Structure 1
Amino acid sequence: MKRRDFLRKTGIAGTTIAIASSGNRMFASDVFSSSMIKVDPSPKFELSPWLYMQFMEPLGVTDSSVEAAWNHEADSWRKDVVDVTAELAPGMMRWGGLLSAYYKWKEAVGPRNERIPMRNLVWGGIESNQVGTAEFVDFCKQVKADPLICVNFESEGYANWAKTPKGEVRFADAKEAAEWVDYCNNPSNAKRISHGAKDPYNVNVWQIGNETSYAKDRFNLETAAKKTIEFAKAMRGADSSIKIIGWGDSGWTKKMIEYAGDQMDYVAFHHMFDPGQDIKDSVIVDNQYRYDPDATWDILMNGYKIHERKILEIREQAEPFGKQMALTECHYSIRGRNRCEILSSWAAGVSYARMMNLHERHGDLLKIATLADFCGNRWQVNAIMIPVPGGKSFMMPVAKIMSLYKKYSGKEYIQVTDVPEGLDITASRTGNKIYLHVVNVNRTKSVKTSVGIANMEIKSGKAYEIAADPEFEIMRASNDPLIPKEKVLDINDLHEFPAASVTAVELDVV
């Protein structure tokens, strides 16, 4: 019996191609032969397009982010930033962060010569406020992302943000948050119309509280829950259709939902962590990773386990209530001169792919998530690096992964029932197209295997593969090996996933 006929009769349709990757210094002995990837095509739950969110916050002198992305001569966004973000294709952009606790939105709207610059209390320096609500929403429209705004939540209860040592009042109450919602969403809002925006901005998702639980000198849980209800009611008074995210990290999730859950559509948490935090004398701090690639790889490939513990912690508290989760800030945070130099490496990109697969596996409850800060010219935790004073902006390895997954994902999560050793795989489906996200977690060995879809036949397919030396560090837009290579699948042959690779597979099935 021919292999193809056997697969049809058993309900498993096979596909794959043989791919070589000289850039990974592979030889014939560096190949594992493995069992078939088996997929159950029955939809399990809907995957949210907001799993690929980006997080925009002005970071002052610490890392010129929003200011670096803005062209002050042309009063517009830098074209190279818009272009590379469109390629990144985030489903959502979030405005806020720590800045939200002392941000006064009215200072950054209206005529440019009337806008009020602000001191950036956390990140240092002065923000010009030439980028405000209108500009943020415009950016979202240009890159086809849904906007999310984090409001000033009475300065999180922190006195030095509410009123600074210089006497500046940065506190904003529920009334001011509701006015912001009205400014954005009310078709008849006189202030917005007077600023030249006849049509509403339609910001449909809002976050109350950024990291309220992270310090003792901020609101306690009971106060935060009471004020979350107050804010949500006021904001929905301006627009009853909006979705509200409430803060629930640091063990707050269950109680916050019990107190204020009827006013919250999502519960928020953050996770910035060192994947080597549990390892004595970890080699990934500073620049030590450059001297021990094997140990570096092992730490990065297991980083997802720490992240999974965090997700499960929140999930166990939220799931009994059926409350959806919003991971509105997340990235590795590793000590180094220039804020996590290792995150420029392709090894970090492969590690982030494992984190992305984890997000998909929890996609029944996890509906909003990110893996990076958005943009800047210094921090390596950013998705996009902006050369200054000139040069073309480019995607970091984490952004390469998020872009690849966003472009080649189905609407519904489906189960991978059999995974060959050395691979980390998730699957999704839209109609008769099935997508696989395949991470080869072996640093030097490829994996040769095939794919089977239960009770379906694969007619054709393509693979979009990123494979490079794990030690490669991206420094600029040119000479970039991290561009996905499109390969047409030979459905009669095996597929060889190169060492240290991330591949999106697109299959046409019947």
Structure 2
Amino acid sequence: MDLKIVLRLLVLLLFTNSLQGFAQDIVQIDIREPQENIEVSANLYGQFIEYLDNSITGGIFDENSPLSDADGFRKDVLIKMEDLKTPVLRYPGGTVTKTYHWEDGIGPRSERPARRNLIWGGVEDNHFGTDEYIKYCRLIGAEPSIVVNMGTGTAEEAANWVEYCNGTGNTYYANLRRQNGSEEPYNVKLWSLGNEEAAWEDAGRLSNPEKYAEEAWYFAKMMKLTDPSIKLFSVADPFKKEWNDVVLGSLAPIADYISVHWYVGTVEGKPLSIYSQIASFDTTLTELSSYLSQYPEKVENFSKWYRFPSRQDAIKISVDEWGIWESTGGGKYNLDCRYTWRHALATASFLNVFHRQAGSVTMANWAQSVNVLGAILASDKGSIEQTVYYPLMYFRQYLGNSLMSVETSGMPVIEGGENLQALDISSTYNDKTNEVSVFVVNRSDKKVSANMNIEGVKASNAKLVQITSVNEDAKNVIGQESVVAVTEENVSLRKGIKIEPLSINIIVFKK
């Protein structure tokens, strides 16, 4: 080839690359302290287990597996749960709570009755019960959060469960706990008054809000008389204002939290629709927060004759079930989901919503931990972290305890995404480490350059933790190498930060 032609081609190539560099989107990100101090709770990173298929038995618990310890806990899964630094673990459901009787799951395992799982099918041997659950919570460092049976159960049964867990006196259920091997009380403080009771299709009987409010008050009385220090969750419905009006109109003096559930999925042929559903949830949480503001932070004129205290703080929101539930998932109820890298990006965006809404949302539980819509997959051959596990773990690791304000300019919009911004961002400050963390999700397939200004931060360098995968459809498979790559590097703020396409990023500054 003629030398002149080669030189011309080289010049053209360099010019093209230069144009691509100039065409790269540049976003200005400004981080500052908000006017109002907003605490960010670690409880936003809770988890959830239910008697559903192989979520518990065959998931976290398998007595017959060589991979399990002497208690029947899967050792490989336990390590993965520990690495999530799970602050709260919700149990035993879920819809199954409407037919679950806790006394079936205590005492010698050989003497526990096997029961049909009327909700999800199969038979539960009840070898994993309250004592095993509490022990598992202790092993992973999680606070227990229990949902009581308001379907086939009674207020007395719920109060007895509270006494079994928290009783300190010489009483029947406290002594029964001691007999079963636990001298010290479990001190379970988080108790939910049923689960999705507004759902008519479920096996409950309280889909009428007046009936639920009346029954929940009675349950609350019996449970709070047993232990006045417990916190109560009242069922809310983000789609039914009438339900919330009636229920909170009655339960507001004693409801420490309202319970909200939200799952997202992908509309066929519209891969970006999952982000639109998350944005819709962000709006819903803002509306719920505004709705709750009508209830005073302090309860007045609460009769002493209740013989237990009212709630002591403002009513908060607990998103105690959230996750990704695709219609393409396997099984009768599409619960066997193999998550792609796009699902990991969506999970990170979900977490950013919780950060931004931390003023009113103080608890959230990924549903569920293992196998069933699980962040972890387990089989008799081993276990693996699904793609969604990575944002859950790394965002938790770098989460601060107070919210920072984020403002942007020059933000590109994703083509075909209904005004969907390329970058989704939140930021927190950790007063123990004196670090500011900025959580950036690039949902577009284009690289973005970010100029970042952090108010009060003079550092010229930062640590960049970047999580990527081979493509949007990549999945992790048990027995194969992970498709997820995690890198850490020091970056210069003066040069701007390169946000790779379809990436999850955590930028950490010393303040």
Residue 477 of structure 1 deviates from its aligned partner by 5.8
What code does the residue aligned with 2:205 have?
Answer: R
Distance 1:483 1:103, change over 3 A: farther
Task: Structure 1: give runs of 5+ residues left out of the alignment.
Answer: 1-25, 156-170, 277-281, 284-294
Write out per-residue CA displacement over residues 201-227 of structure 1, whole angstroms, 9 at most, x where no aligned residue. Answer: 121101011010011773110111111
Matched, 1:268 2:259: yes
State the match for 1:56 in structure 2. 49
- Go from structure 1 to structure 2 and tell me whether the alpha carbon gap of 1:314 and 1:35 turns closer, same or farther (over 3 Å shift): closer
**Map of 1:288 onto structure 2:** none
Q: Which residue of 2 aligns with 1:47?
A: 40
Instruction: Please state if 1:115 is matched with 2:112.
Output: yes
Q: Which stretch shifts more, 422-431 or 214-223?
A: 214-223
Measured in 2, the distance between the counterparts of 1:475 and 1:88 equals 19
Give deviations 1:4-51, integer Å, cap 9, x for gaps: xxxxxxxxxxxxxxxxxxxxxx99938724132111134630011111
Alignment partners' CA distance in 2, 1:64 and 1:246: 25
Change (3 A) 1:53 1:420: farther
Alignment partner of 1:69 out of 52, 60, 68: 60
Alpha-carbon separation, structure 1, partners of 2:497 and 2:141? 34
- Is the contact between residue 67 and residue 127 of structure 1 (CA under 8 Å) also seen in structure 2? no
TM-score computed with the length of structure 1 as normaliser: 0.82
Gap change, CA 1:265 and 1:407, over 3 Å in 2: same
The 3 A distance-change label for structure 1 pair 340 and 64 is closer
Q: Secondary structure at the match of 1:69?
A: coil
8 Å contact kept, 1:463–1:489: yes
Structure 2 Cα separation of the partners of residues 177 and 337 of structure 1: 35
User: What amino acid maps onto 1:229 in structure 2?
Assistant: W
Is the contact made by 1:342 and 1:348 (CA closer than 8 Å) also made in structure 2? no
Q: Which amino acid aligns with 1:427?
A: S
Is the aligned partner of 1:178 residue 2:170? no
Match of 1:464 in 2: 465
1:306 alignment partner, SS class: helix
Give the percent of matched residue pairs that are identical in Structure 1 and Structure 2.
Answer: 25
**Residue aligned with 1:70, SS:** coil
Q: Would you say the 8 A contact 1:56–1:94 is kept in 2?
A: yes
Matched, 1:449 2:440: no
1:375 aligns with 2:370: yes
Q: Which of residues 352, 356, 370 in structure 2 aligns to 1:357?
A: 352
Unaligned runs of 5+ in 2: 1-16, 65-69, 296-313, 412-421
Aligned mate of 1:82, from 78, 89, 92: 78
Superposition map of 1:167-316 within 5 A: 171-188=152-169, 189-215=174-200, 218-219=205-206, 220-249=208-237, 250-251=240-241, 252-276=243-267, 282-283=268-269, 295-296=270-271, 298-316=272-290
Structure 1 Cα separation of the partners of residues 127 and 108 of structure 2 = 9
CA distance in structure 1 between the partners assigned to 2:275 and 2:489 by the alignment: 26
Asked if structure 2 preserves the Cα contact closer than 8 Å seen for 1:89 and 1:143, the reply is: yes
Taking the aligned partners of 1:419 and 1:132, their CA distance within structure 2 comes to 52
| Maintained 8 Å contact 1:36/1:451 | yes
**Corresponding residue SS for 1:458:** coil
Give the corresponding residue for 1:335. Answer: 327
Aligned counterpart, 2:393: 403
The higher radius of gyration belongs to: 2
Whether contact under 8 Å (2:457, 2:509) holds in the other structure is no
Q: Which stretch of structure 1 is more off in the superposition, 26-35 or 315-324?
A: 26-35
Q: Distance in 2 between matches of 1:319 and 1:398?
A: 33
Task: Give the whole-Å Cα distance in 1 for the aligned partners of 2:407 and 2:329.
Answer: 43
TM-score (norm 2): 0.82
2:96 match? 99
The residue type paired with residue 505 of structure 1 is I
Other structure's SS at 2:186 match: coil
Matched length? 443
- Cα deviation per residue 1:223-256 (whole Å; 9 max; x = unaligned)? 1111111111111111111110011113322321
1:384 to 349, 357, 376: 376
SS in 1 for 2:403: strand
Aligned partners of 1:346 and 1:473 also within 8 Å? yes
Taking only aligned residues, the RMSD between alpha carbons, in angstroms, comes to 2.2
Partner of 1:141: 138
Q: Tell me, in whole angstroms, the C-alpha distance in 2 between the residues paired with 1:132 and 1:67.
A: 15
